[in-house]
């Protein structure tokens, strides 16, 4: 009996050791981040992570537990050992593979592997492969091999089965009940009222340390269950106020309609409008926004003749969220995306609908697959009469893994606009400044490191924008055209040092430019804190169109509108004001980032607004 109980205990400990090694690989892989913390903090990663490891190990041991129970009644059983060995190798490989994918996902997104990774792979395999192309393949495979081989080695060393005597049925049954009871206790995470969840591994104000402590496999499986079970589509995980009216009233106070009209910054009330949604164009590549000099020289020239909004934030961290924020003025929903829900996204307002109803011709240009993340359905549901995507280009122009390079798309759009009925509303979604950072020309900053690759593609996109504007300026419709240039979201690169909760990951450029800008406003800078979601109301007010449907959008040009921005990621949000910027972790239920040392009352006020905003946005998503 003791030998059999010991074997079950050793098998359980084997998985705890494996998870410890996996966590060690994580903190070594991200050593530049790890070295910023004291040894005591790193030790707490293992200590607090152990609790979740106990639960995940219990899940893996659920099937093998049957083998150990049967062995109590039939000690001579032999086939079970072989099945256990095969089962262990398979699970080892799966865990190691998840761990490797997690390393690359965390580097790119700043969050752990989740259901949306599986969703992208299943629905958009080509795009998923393209996104992963910049990952260090050989290093990833090497770590995968080491984890699997080391796991097999440990299994052989630890799992040495000794002969055991057959127990009396009553004693074997009692031991079986004991093992099952301990298994259930470990699965649940203990005796406490709340069952196991990620917050039990959280111990720090640093998202990195908390993410390192969380068991990757447990978190991944939990997220899959929540999503496939429809939980995120039917229940709000961001409840901070018991009364919805409380959260709603707080949010509405942010959007109180100013009694004074905004200034007129355009020379016409019916301009042509072209919106550039630029892939991953973080403020860190714009010199005028404090970014590195020389990455976007053409944007700098446009800034001198346009209106630059200097404190603009992306609503979310992915293109699908940014597209909806820009075109529909609807904020990101953190853990999900309304674009994926066809019955919901159709109910959103959109700039394209307003302008189409006003007699504008509408078009959308993208060098890749417009079906990606249900984008095509969204466009067709919101009055885009013409969609130009990868199917519209010659095969010779489809030279990147994502599709046609930016210059090809820009030239096609420019050619079409010369024949388009005016006024026109056209949207261009760029793609070159995206992993794997491919280029049709020489890399200006080299390709030796990810930051160099990113800067090189950002420089290329900037050169395409500059070339486009020079050609557009020669067209008769240029003087009546407003160009709006904005990023879809920020990026870890090129700085490669900001965690997901740092506002730098969400700060982006927003520029109004073109012949339709009144001369007196050219070269102006607007310092009001704002978001992508504010583009809709700001634009529509300038062309004397009703913006009441865009309830999550304010006028950035109206001095009387409030200065703030909200942004979010998988399980957290940030709130920015002129005084302060904070970030809040929804799992740890704590503020994890403060930009300035201000009175606590300021932080408390921003947290109040942020919580109300997050709750109300998700409620609105559920109601659609």
User: Where is pLDDT greater, at 62 or 275?
Assistant: 275
Q: Which of 29, 178, 185 is nearest to 100 (CA)?
A: 29
Q: Does some domain include residue 234?
A: no
Cβ-proximal residues to 32 (8 Å cutoff; 6+ apart), any chain: 497
For residue 20, what are its two tokens? Answer: 């410890």
Whether omega for the bond prior to residue 436 falls within 30 degrees of 0, making it cis, is yes
Residues 105, 205: one domain? yes
Examine residue 240 and state whether it is found in any structural domain, yes or no.
no
- Residue 619 CA: distances (Å) to CA of 230, 238, 548: 15, 9, 19
Catalytic residue among 319, 336, 362, 461: 319
Query: In the listed set 229, 264, 297, which residue is the last one of a domain according to the structure?
Result: 229
State the pLDDT confidence band at 152, using cuts at 50, 70 and 90: very high
* pLDDT for position 257: 82
Largest CA distance in the chain: 96
48/107 same-domain check: yes
Q: pLDDT band for position 64 (50/70/90)? A: confident
For residues 165 and 251, state if they share a domain: no
Distance of alpha carbon 119 from alpha carbon 105, whole angstroms: 14
To the nearest whole number, what is the mean pLDDT of the chain?
Answer: 92
The answer as to whether 269 is a domain residue is: yes
Write the DSSP assignment of 452-487 as a string of letters.
Answer: HHHHHHHHHHHHHHHHHHHHHTTSTTGGGEEEEEEE
Of 205-214, 307-316, 343-352, 612-621, give the lowest mean pLDDT range.
Answer: 205-214
**Is 434 annotated to bind ligand?**
yes
pLDDT per residue over 589-603, tens digit each?
Answer: 999 999 999 999 999
For residue 153 the two structure tokens come to 């080695």
489 is in an annotated binding site: yes
In total, the chain counts a number of residues equal to: 624
Domain that holds residue 612: 246-623
What pLDDT sits at residue 71?
65
Q: Which of 252-256, 342-346, 428-432 has the lowest mean pLDDT?
A: 342-346
- The pLDDT score that the predictor gives to residue 137 is 86
Tens-place pLDDT, residues 373-401: 889 999 999 999 999 999 999 888 888 88
Quick check: bond before 207 cis, omega within 30? no
| Six-digit token string for 440 | 């049709």
DSSP 447: S
One domain, residues 427 and 513: yes
Q: Indicate whether 98 and 17 sit together in one domain.
A: yes
Query: How does residue 73 score in pLDDT terms, banded at 50, 70 and 90?
Result: low
User: Do residues 602 and 501 both lie within one domain?
Assistant: yes
Residue 189 and residue 287 in one domain:
no
User: Would strands 361-366 and 386-388 be described as parallel, antiparallel, or unpaired?
Assistant: parallel
> How many structural domains are present in the chain?
2
Between 358 and 129, the more confident residue is 358
Q: Which of 330, 252, 250 is nearest to 608 (CA)?
A: 250
Q: Are 186 and 286 part of one and the same domain? A: no
- 262 is a domain residue: yes
The pLDDT of 567-596, averaged and rounded, is 96
191 confidence band (pLDDT: 50, 70, 90): confident
Q: Is residue 441 part of a domain?
A: yes
pLDDT of residue 131: 65
Residue 71: which residues within 8 A CB-CB, separation 6 or more? 4, 7, 77, 80, 164
Q: pTM for the whole thing?
A: 0.85
- Classified as helix, coil or strand, 331 is coil
127 is in an annotated binding site: no
Q: Which of 229, 262, 277 represents a domain boundary (last residue)?
A: 229
Over residues 48-57, mean pLDDT: 94
Sheet containing 581-585: order of strands: 565-569, 572-576, 581-585, 590-594
Answer whether residue 108 is part of any domain: yes
Structural domain contains residue 32: yes
Residues 399 and 282 in one domain: yes
Q: Looking at 110-191, list the stretches that DSSP marks H as alpha helix, in order from N- to C-terminal side.
A: 115-123, 125-132, 137-158, 169-188
SS3 of 312, please? strand
Residue 320: give its domain's CATH number. 3.40.720.10
238 assigned to some structural domain:
no
Residues 170 and 78 grouped into a single domain: yes
Q: Which helix (H) or strand (E) segment is 185 a member of? A: helix 169-188
Residue 601 main-chain phi, psi, to 5 deg: -60, -35
Same domain, 477 and 579: yes
Active site residue 336: no
Sequence-separated (6 or more) residues with CB below 8 Å from residue 595? 503, 580, 581, 582
The answer to whether 110 touches 569, Cβ cutoff 8 Å, is: yes
Are 201 and 286 within one domain?
Answer: no
Is 60 exceeded by the pLDDT of residue 165? no
pLDDT at 46 over 60: yes
């Amino acid at each position: 009996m003791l030998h059999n109980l010991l074997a079950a205990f050793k098998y359980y400990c084997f998985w705890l050791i494996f998870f410890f090694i996996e966590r060690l690989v994580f903190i070594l892989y991200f050593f530049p981040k790890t070295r910023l913390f004291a040894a005591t903090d790193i030790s707490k990663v293992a200590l607090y992570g152990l609790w979740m490891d106990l639960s995940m190990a219990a899940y893996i041991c659920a099937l093998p537990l049957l083998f150990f129970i049967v062995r109590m009644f039939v000690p001579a059983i032999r086939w079970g050992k072989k099945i256990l060995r095969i089962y262990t190798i398979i699970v080892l490989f799966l865990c190691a593979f998840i761990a490797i994918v997690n390393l690359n996902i965390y580097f790119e997104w700043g969050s752990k592997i989740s259901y949306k990774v599986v969703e992208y792979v299943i629905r958009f395999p080509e795009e998923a492969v393209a996104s992963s192309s910049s990952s260090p393949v050989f290093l990833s495979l090497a770590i995968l091999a080491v984890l699997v081989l080391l796991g097999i080695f440990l299994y052989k060393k630890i799992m040495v089965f000794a002969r055991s005597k057959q127990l009396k049925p009553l004693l074997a049954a009692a031991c079986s009940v004991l093992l099952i009871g301990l298994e259930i206790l470990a699965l649940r995470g203990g005796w406490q009222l709340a069952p196991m969840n990620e917050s039990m591994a959280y111990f720090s104000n640093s998202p990195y340390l908390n993410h390192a402590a969380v068991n990757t496999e447990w978190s991944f499986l939990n997220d899959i269950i929540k999503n496939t079970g429809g939980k995120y589509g039917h229940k709000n995980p961001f409840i901070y106020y018991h009364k919805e009216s409380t959260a709603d009233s707080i949010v509405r106070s942010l959007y109180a309609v100013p009694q004074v009209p905004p200034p007129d910054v355009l020379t016409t009330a019916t301009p042509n409008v072209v919106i550039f949604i630029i892939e991953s164009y973080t403020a860190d590549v714009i010199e005028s926004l404090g970014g590195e000099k020389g990455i976007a020289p053409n944007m700098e020239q446009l800034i001198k003749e346009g209106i630059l909004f200097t404190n603009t934030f992306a609503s979310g961290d992915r293109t699908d969220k940014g597209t909806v924020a820009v075109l529909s003025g609807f904020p990101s929903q953190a853990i999900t995306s309304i674009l994926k829900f066809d019955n919901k996204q159709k109910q959103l307002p959109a700039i394209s609908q307003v302008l189409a109803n006003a007699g504008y011709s509408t078009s959308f240009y993208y060098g890749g697959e417009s079906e990606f993340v249900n984008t095509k359905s969204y466009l067709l549901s919101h009055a885009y009469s013409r969609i130009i995507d990868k199917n519209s280009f010659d095969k010779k122009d489809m030279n990147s893994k994502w599709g046609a390079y930016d210059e090809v798309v820009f030239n096609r759009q420019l050619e079409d606009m010369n024949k388009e009925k005016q006024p026109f509303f056209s949207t261009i979604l760029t793609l070159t400044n995206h992993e794997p950072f491919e280029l049709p020309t020489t890399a200006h900053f080299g390709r030796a490191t990810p930051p160099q690759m990113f800067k090189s593609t950002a420089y290329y996109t900037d050169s395409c924008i500059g070339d486009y504007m020079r050609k557009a300026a020669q067209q008769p419709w240029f003087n009546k055209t407003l160009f709006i240039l904005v990023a879809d979201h920020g990026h870890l690169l090129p700085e490669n040092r900001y965690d997901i909760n740092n506002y730098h990951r969400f700060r982006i450029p927003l520029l109004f430019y073109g012949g339709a800008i009144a001369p007196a406003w050219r070269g102006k800078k607007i310092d009001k804190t704002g978001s992508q979601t504010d583009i809709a109301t700001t634009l529509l007010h300038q062309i004397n169109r009703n913006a009441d449907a865009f309830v999550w959008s304010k006028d950035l040009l109206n001095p009387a509108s409030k200065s703030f921005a909200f942004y979010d990621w998988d399980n957290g949000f940030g709130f920015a004001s002129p005084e302060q910027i904070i970030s809040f972790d929804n799992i740890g239920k704590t503020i994890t980032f403060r930009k300035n040392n201000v009175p606590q009352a300021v932080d408390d006020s921003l947290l109040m607004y942020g919580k109300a905003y997050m709750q109300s946005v998700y409620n609105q998503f559920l109601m659609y």
